[in-house]
Amino acid sequence: MNGMKNLLVKLSRDEDGAALVEYGLLVALIAVGCVAALTLLGGNLKTMFTNVAAKIPTT
């Protein structure tokens, strides 16, 4: 029983897993922001790149 108590105390003090979860949440939030930005600006970006491509001379 004492070994189980020591294991629980050790796990409660271990913060590596919490840091990993925080980094995962941060990456997920950044990904959601990128998707939202591309969704909102997608049409404008397509138009801009189409205009730039049309102005590039081809040989």
**pTM to 2 decimal places:** 0.52
For the four alpha carbons of 5, 7, 10 and 11, in that order, the dihedral sign comes to negative
Q: How confident is the model at residue 25 (pLDDT cuts 50, 70, 90)?
A: very high
Q: Which residues contact 45 (CB under 8 A, 6 or more apart)?
A: 38
Tell me what pLDDT residue 6 has. 80
> What does the alpha-carbon distance between residue 41 and residue 18 come to, in Å, rounded to a whole number?
35
Residue range 42-58: mean pLDDT, rounded: 89
- Please give the mean pLDDT across all residues of the chain: 84
Q: Is residue 14 predicted with pLDDT exceeding 80?
A: no
> What does the alpha-carbon distance between residue 54 and residue 59 come to, in Å, rounded to a whole number?
13
Length of the chain: 59
pLDDT tens across 31-49, in order? 999 999 988 888 888 888 9
> What does the alpha-carbon distance between residue 44 and residue 37 come to, in Å, rounded to a whole number?
11
